[in-house]
Amino acid sequence: MLKKLYIITLIASLGISSCAIRKHIPQGDHLYNGATVTVNKTADNPVKTRPVKKSLAGITFPRKNKMILGYPYKLGFWYGIGKGKKEKGFRNWLRNRLGEPPVLGSSVDLEANAENMTAWLENRGYFRSVVSGSSSIKGYRLKADYTVKLTRPYIIDSVAWSLDSSKLSKAIMRVNQRKRNEYVEVSKQFDLEDIKAETRNIDLVLKNRGYYYFSPDYIKAYVDTTKGNYKASIIFSIKNETPLLARTAQRINSIMLFPNYTLLEPPPDTAKTGLEMYEGVFIRDTVKAFKASTLVDPFNYKVGDLYNLRRHNQTLNRFINLGAFKFVKSRYEPSTDTVSPNHMDVFYYLTPMKKKTLSAEIGGFTKSNSFTGSQLNVNWKNRNFFRGAEQFNIKGYGAFELSINDSLKKNNNWRLGGEASLLIPRFVTFFKIKENNYFPPYTKFTLGYEWMRRQLLYTKNLFRFQYDLNWKVKSNIEHTLSPVSIMYNNATAFSDEYLEKVNRYPALQYANLPELIPSTFYNFNTRTNPRKSKNILYFNGSVDVAGNIAGLIRKADAPFSQKIAGAYFAQYAKLDADLRFTRKLTEKSSWVSRFEIGMGLPYGNSAYLPFSKQFIIGGANSLRGFRPRQLGPGRVLTTADQQVSYPQIGGDIKLELQSELRFPLFGIVNGAVFAETGNVWMRNDFLYGSDGQFGKKFLNDLAVDAGIGVRVDISVLVIRLDLATPLRKPYLQPGAEWILSEFDPASRQWRRDNLVLNLGIGYPF
């Protein structure tokens, strides 16, 4: 009864609102109610009419007012709020924000829309199709009705070129046949957009062969439909009026570089007198800010070469990626040194960034180990430290961290640290790595120190040195190699409370031993181009090996038996892989899945992976139904002492699978539903006993959760809120791990024990 009353009330409300809108429509006019398209085809026409109908409806103009259940709700706001007295007052702002003006029937041009539809059909091979338009009126609304007599589409029967004996024609003929007819293909339906794409493709090919002044507009395409039987022949040719410059391949006569260009001063003198020449490039660097070799190194061509668009773009990209220039511009013009029509001068204008900057930032954070806090960073940067576009950065920071877990309360952290890094836009290495012409490689040296005090426990000192090489072989394939990575940490100033815990739980004595991690690390990252496919793949894999050289110097017969510089050196091999698959369902919705697997093999002087290298699980970017430190390893539910005293709750092995459906809700707000499973395990029972050890029945140890999420996409970042609940808790008694029968969101205690709210920045994967 209540449901029926609600429906009647809703209908009555819409009726009253419609009456309110009707009285605002100008006399003799009507509210536009959209367009309908009827497509009629002959019996021998094999084309499906639904896509044609949808496309034609999409090009009609204007668009009707937005509606819900046939009611123009935004128009209702427009009239309901009314016009304010002040043009920029709050009332008018609210009216424009929530409402929209009426779209009237008098604004509909049936003839123009019919002509646009006819042109659309002609451009896609439906020659001699006919479109007619009419209107129908119902009440105060007007609807546009279009009827289409759809002919059979023409199919391309042959593609040919009509060329002469000129060098330009020979250049076109030398182009690979597959490249030349990449878009216009035999047996494909005629489409004008394909012809335009083909001319742009030919232009691109010619641009890479020196024809700088050529343009797609110089290509003519004849369409011959006289064969009958709905066949069309395409014949390409070069227009007779194509100018000489466009027909001539250009060579680089000279290169001039201005590395201190600014828009605030008059344009620089382009005369070559008095300029420094380095490796064939004229350089006007009056302040000598950069080494000549640094300025010339990005060039991927030299004087005398044919113009090549690809190499030109590679050069621009390398200049931009140096990180020292704010703007990079180029200009080509006919050479002034010769009357030959096939020589050009090229000019590069580089605007440097500010060399030295000092910045500070303060912010809050949440970490995967259940701590939240605030941090102050102070950064000083020099973007041209040795006049070779090297970036030298010094960072100092201080932070405090408070735990939100009951088991970790009162064990707050304080941190002070500093880091110095030098980023060099080229390889600094004793072995050769092949470079990509588009992207400059980077070498980075990092030296850091951190002091951390864990309240009621101990003080840690962490030293770090890292030597990294980073390069791309393609825009979507990236490599990072760290030939040398050294971490040293040592815990001191143990509290009496901590020492008492160590006496009670002997395994805790291994949690904070002095530790040295000398390792070599390699990472590989790739992804498919999201613009070319509905299916997007992402892969990130890494290999981390530590302690081999140290093991040769000090051979360890048992874990924690050998030291170097007063610290136990770690020995392990670690591999992990992160595979993600995205299926685009619509323009704004997608189904995204992630599979992550990791395996560490400690040996020699190590019984387990160092805590800083262990795989962790749970939290805002992992299994969101479980808080960090409260899942795993295996079937273990860690104790309060373990959560407090161990630097990390993790494992030597990890398996994780996540799947999420993402969809739009309204405006900038999107929604998601997800399900996840996974866990971590140890290779032995050293820290957590046999329940945390990986075994043949590891599938029985998997945790499962599910949840919903809301994401606010404000372009520069995504603010994420996820609500999740466990479905399977592996640490419960065998046979009782699934807790679906206990689902009771009305219970306050159940919500406290099972609902986990995650706040994050960006998507979880």
Q: CB-based burial of residue 419 (10 Å sphere; 0-12 exposed, 13-18 middle, 19+ buried)?
A: middle
pLDDT value of residue 569:
95
Query: Is pLDDT at 415 greater than 70 in this prediction?
Result: yes
Listed in sequence order, the residues at least 6 apart from 348 whose beta carbon sits closer than 8 Å to its beta carbon are: 255, 256, 257, 258, 319, 328, 329, 330
A 10 A CB-CB count for 697 gives 7
Per the domain annotation, does 263 fall within a domain?
Answer: yes
Mean pLDDT, residues 643-653 taken together: 88
Same structural domain, 138 and 273: no
pLDDT value of residue 15:
43
pLDDT tier at 163 (50, 70, 90 boundaries)? confident
What dihedral do alpha carbons 685, 688, 690, 695 form, nearest 10°? -80
Listed in sequence order, the residues at least 6 apart from 576 whose beta carbon sits closer than 8 Å to its beta carbon are: 541, 542, 596, 597, 598, 599, 615, 654
pLDDT value of residue 285:
85
Write a three-state SS string for 694-731: CCCCHHHHCEEEEEEEEEEECCCCEEEEEEEEEEECCC
CB 355 within 8 A of CB 384: yes
Place of tokens 């093991």: 551
CB 184 within 8 A of CB 222: no
CATH of the domain at 309: 3.10.20.310
Same structural domain, 180 and 240: yes
Same structural domain, 216 and 318: no
CB 64 within 8 A of CB 74: no
Amino acid at the residue 264: L
Q: How far is it, in rounded angstroms, from Cα 224 to Cα 538?
A: 46
Per the domain annotation, does 491 fall within a domain?
Answer: no
Query: Is pLDDT at 484 greater than 60 in this prediction?
Result: yes
Per the domain annotation, does 289 fall within a domain?
Answer: yes
pLDDT value of residue 502:
84
Q: How far is it, in rounded angstroms, from Cα 580 to Cα 567?
A: 39
Instruction: Answer with the one of 179, 213, 247 that is the final residue of a domain.
Output: 247
Per the domain annotation, does 12 fall within a domain?
Answer: yes
A 10 A CB-CB count for 715 gives 6
**Per-residue tokens: 271:** 């005369």
Query: Is pLDDT at 336 greater than 60 in this prediction?
Result: yes
Q: Which helix (H) or strand (E) holds 10?
A: helix 2-22
pLDDT tier at 97 (50, 70, 90 boundaries)? confident
Range of the domain at 683: 614-765
**Per-residue tokens: 372:** 């939240």
Mean pLDDT, residues 625-635 taken together: 90
Q: How far is it, in rounded angstroms, from Cα 722 to Cα 658?
A: 14
What share of the chain has pLDDT > 70, as a percent?
A: 93
pTM exceeds cut of 0.85? no
Query: Is pLDDT at 64 greater than 50 in this prediction?
Result: yes
Closest CA to 522 of 546, 498, 495, 504: 546
SS3 657: strand
User: pLDDT tens for residues 15-50?
Assistant: 445 567 888 889 889 999 999 999 999 888 899 999
Same structural domain, 174 and 190: yes
Per the domain annotation, does 233 fall within a domain?
Answer: yes
Same structural domain, 118 and 186: no
Q: How far is it, in rounded angstroms, from Cα 234 to Cα 157?
A: 8
Amino acid at the residue 539: F
What share of the chain has pLDDT > 90, as a percent?
A: 61
CA distances for 244 relative to 214, 248, 250, 688, 731, angstroms: 10, 6, 11, 80, 80
Q: How far is it, in rounded angstroms, from Cα 309 to Cα 227?
A: 40
Per the domain annotation, does 562 fall within a domain?
Answer: no
CB 190 within 8 A of CB 154: yes
Same structural domain, 136 and 179: no
Per the domain annotation, does 570 fall within a domain?
Answer: no
pLDDT tier at 670 (50, 70, 90 boundaries)? very high
pLDDT value of residue 14:
40
Q: Which of the two residues, 468 and 276, has the higher pLDDT score?
A: 468
Place of tokens 């466009």: 246
Q: How far is it, in rounded angstroms, from Cα 311 to Cα 288?
A: 27
Strand partners, 149: 40, 130
Q: How far is it, in rounded angstroms, from Cα 297 to Cα 257?
A: 12
Q: How far is it, in rounded angstroms, from Cα 168 to Cα 164?
A: 9
Q: How far is it, in rounded angstroms, from Cα 404 to Cα 50?
A: 56
pLDDT value of residue 12:
39
CA distances for 540 relative to 447, 525, 545, angstroms: 26, 4, 17
Query: Is pLDDT at 710 greater than 90 in this prediction?
Result: yes
Amino acid at the residue 701: D
Closest CA to 730 of 689, 755, 707, 700: 700
Residue 752: HSE in the Cβ half-sphere, 13 Å Cα cutoff: 5
Same structural domain, 317 and 236: no
CA distances for 38 relative to 46, 54, 63, 107, 303, angstroms: 17, 10, 18, 22, 62
DSSP conformation class of 738 = B
Q: How far is it, in rounded angstroms, from Cα 89 to Cα 97?
A: 12
A 10 A CB-CB count for 69 gives 8
Strand partners, 221: 236
Instruction: Answer with the one of 304, 334, 352 that is the final residue of a domain.
Output: 352
- Give Rg (Cα) of the chain: 34
Per the domain annotation, does 408 fall within a domain?
Answer: no
Same structural domain, 618 and 737: yes
CB 595 within 8 A of CB 644: no
Instruction: Answer with the one of 247, 266, 297 that is the final residue of a domain.
Output: 247
pLDDT value of residue 643:
81
Mean pLDDT, residues 178-185 taken together: 71
Query: Is pLDDT at 364 greater than 80 in this prediction?
Result: no
pLDDT value of residue 593:
97
Average pLDDT of the chain is: 89
CB 121 within 8 A of CB 68: no
Q: How far apart are the first and last CA of the chain?
A: 47
pLDDT value of residue 120:
96
Same structural domain, 193 and 223: yes
pLDDT value of residue 86:
83
SS3 407: helix
CA distances for 409 relative to 192, 220, 359, 505, 641, angstroms: 68, 76, 33, 20, 12
Query: Is pLDDT at 176 greater than 70 in this prediction?
Result: no
Same structural domain, 725 and 634: yes
pLDDT value of residue 588:
87
Per the structure, the count of domains in the chain is 4
Nearest-10 crossing angle of helices 167-174, 192-207: 110
User: pLDDT tens for residues 732-748?
Assistant: 999 999 999 898 988 99
Same structural domain, 707 and 744: yes
Same structural domain, 280 and 178: no
CB 454 within 8 A of CB 461: no
pLDDT value of residue 4:
44
